[in-house]
Structure 1
């Protein structure tokens, strides 16, 4: 099974409303940059099963979303439908072939850039799709020395240092407003000590969350435990980087 097939099967089998404690924590870090007094138009790049797509809709954004996986688009449609959210524009296209019909106030691209060989080319495309002073919000995996089986099975080309990401954003004519690492010690423990070995054992990334009482209870406990990670933000131990940049 190749990387694209693994992701297609993952999105096909995912239980849309299952608890997602790590994504909920990430959303808490992103929310201050996304809160707005007036409706804005956002492009959700690599929307996956639509978790963040729905969050953006609930924040009052007009949302377009794209993913290269047809099963991801179907999963996003299921999430939107089950939550009675407004209709959105969905694009099942490769980023390099996408031609948006308009420019955006915000582009959000979470855990996607590492999957793309020519990441600088994509950053320049994002710049061209944004309105003047539009915002680009990225998250990428941090530190090449943390490379593990999850990166291999996920089809990653690289992990990033904060300096490398800043340099690439500046080369694509963005002004970096904020960049920080997060996800230590709780998220890093789960990712490196539990998730990566489990995925290696089953030789796939297919581990959809269940939506039952036990899973929801465990999710609440883990989500609260993640608050410990807030004490260590930008200490260079985090497993992920968030970068917020403005089009120059």
Structure 2
């Protein structure tokens, strides 16, 4: 992540509908645990994920390839270190939870990054991964964000299981928004996720995401995929 992209994310992430929704998803997943433990957020950027973890009582460490991201996360009080997701500067079997939210799609050798996630988890530890889905949605938007792929559900499952993790759940998000976003992103090169939205548009998208949480559409085609898996213990 370059400095300009990082600055854009930092500027919008408090209010942007998708970053808010992703924090809600993480909070919901954390409630599955009986007690907090140790966690690593791979691709931590400004440390927003680590701050959510800390709010739930977790001891969180952030890892990011960008020195600017690490400096910004530390400025926000996050324990953060520079590191490549393919070669994490972390000991094995150390963490109860590993996050890789919107990270793997940026890495050519995503299998190695997935194997590193498995390596740093304790036996019985959990991985939570999110990726953009479906190459049919590929557009200039993905290029602007530096992605190298979008995933099919099967492709994400194979990646997770190929790392030696046991898949517990895989589900879609952005189901209700898929037709709209597909049309917008195929008509423009503008990188919507990093541009401030009009408050009305942001509120409409937020309400759509909130409605989707109440509907049984997790198995339908969406814009993002989430997977939860554990290291065998």
> CA contact under 8 A between 1:46 and 1:68: conserved in structure 2?
yes
- Is 2:74 aligned against 1:77? yes
Q: 2:15 aligns with which of 15, 19, 23?
A: 19
Q: 1:137 aligns with which of 128, 131, 134?
A: 128
Q: Cα RMSD between the aligned structures?
A: 2.6
- What does residue 241 of structure 1 align with? 225
1:168-202 deviations in Å (ceiling 9; x for gaps): 2112111100001110223663x44446755x25x
- What does residue 90 of structure 1 align with? 80
Counterpart secondary structure, 2:122: strand
> CA contact under 8 A between 1:10 and 1:205: conserved in structure 2?
no
- Name the stretch that deviates more: 171-180 or 29-38: 29-38
- Name the stretch that deviates more: 102-111 or 18-27: 18-27
Q: Aligned partners of 1:142, 1:206: CA distance in 2, in Å?
A: 15
Q: Which has the higher contact order (CA 8 A, sep 6+)?
A: 1
Gaps spanning 5+ residues in structure 1: where? Answer: 81-86
Q: 2:46 aligns with which of 44, 49, 52?
A: 49
- What does residue 178 of structure 1 align with? 169
Structure 1 or 2: larger helix share? 1
Q: Aligned partners of 1:52, 1:173: CA distance in 2, in Å?
A: 25
1:58-86 deviations in Å (ceiling 9; x for gaps): 111100001112222233234x2xxxxxx
> CA contact under 8 A between 1:10 and 1:208: conserved in structure 2?
no
- Is 2:211 aligned against 1:228? yes
- Is 2:60 aligned against 1:60? no
1:205-248 deviations in Å (ceiling 9; x for gaps): 793548xxx74x76444322322333263343200000000002
- How many residue pairs get matched? 228
Within-5 A mapping of 1:92-111: 92-101=82-91, 103-111=94-102
| TM-score (structure 2 length as normaliser) | 0.85
Q: Aligned partners of 1:162, 1:207: CA distance in 2, in Å?
A: 25
> CA contact under 8 A between 2:83 and 2:89: conserved in structure 1?
no
Q: Aligned partners of 2:187, 2:73: CA distance in 1, in Å?
A: 28
- What does residue 138 of structure 2 align with? 147
